[in-house]
Homo-oligomer: A and B are copies of this chain.
Amino acid sequence: MDNTHQKKMQKRKELYEKKVLARQEKRGLFMINTGKGKGKSSAAFGLALRMIGHGRKVGVVQFIKGAWQTGERKAFSHWGDLVEWHTLGEGFTWETQDKERDIVSCQNAWNTALRLLQDESLSLLILDELNIALRYHYLDVHAVVRAIMARPAGLSVVVTGRNAPVELVAEADTVTEMDNIRHHAQNGVMAQEGIEY
């Protein structure tokens, strides 16, 4: 038995436990996954899985992606009653090429989000790619912040998408930036089933 290692780890354990004990609060969190890297939506869906594993209800509103992400949609459909899934976007804005239509579809998605933001039965609400809708000013960022901050105390919210607006970042409990150190698309690898969708 390595005593130096044991002592070092004992110290680390004490430090860790002290830190953990200092955290006393339990409540729904407002989290943002942003940045140019991979994993913003996937991490949100991974979190949904955690919630579902504990028998808690999850809501998903997809603001931009239309036909995409069929993989996780299919997977989540296994838990019919634990997941309320709404894909209200029609694809990226360069696919529709119609600003008015994009605004209407974002507004529809936001109306659904507003309803779910008041749903006491939910533990987690994922507002997927909401940052994109905000970036194009298709929604009023102040109205979005107000609604998120007025949610039930037990409800956690994850907002995903590049370029999270500062007004949103200012209010979040946790902001994670997914940064692209390297990406396979740069080396000619195409979007693949199970990886990108």
Q: Which residues of A contact B (CB under 8 A)?
A: 1-2, 5-6, 9-10, 12-13, 16, 19-20, 22-27, 29, 31, 33, 35, 37-39, 41-47, 49-54, 56, 69-76, 78-79, 92-100, 123-124, 156, 169, 172-185, 187-195, 197
- B194:A54 contact, CB within 8 angstroms: yes
Q: What residue of chain B has the Cβ atom nearest to residue A38's Cβ?
A: B176
The smallest C-beta distance from A92 to any residue of chain B, in angstroms, reads 8
How far is it, in angstroms, between the C-alpha of A188 and the C-alpha of B21 when the chains are bound? Answer: 9
Cβ contacts under 8 Å, A31 to chain B = 38, 184
Which of A33, A78, A174 has the most B CB atoms < 10 Å from its CB?
A: A174
Cβ contacts under 8 Å, A79 to chain B = 78
- B53:A72 contact, CB within 8 angstroms: yes
Known: A25-B188, A43-B39. A195 touches B97 (CB 8 A): no
Cβ contacts under 8 Å, A174 to chain B = 38, 182-184
The smallest C-beta distance from A197 to any residue of chain B, in angstroms, reads 7
- New contact pairs (20) apart from A2-B100, A9-B96, A45-B45, CB-CB < 8 Å: A9-B99, A20-B190, A23-B188, A25-B187, A26-B190, A26-B192, A29-B189, A31-B184, A37-B178, A39-B46, A44-B46, A49-B71, A50-B71, A53-B72, A54-B71, A54-B194, A173-B183, A173-B184, A173-B189, A175-B182
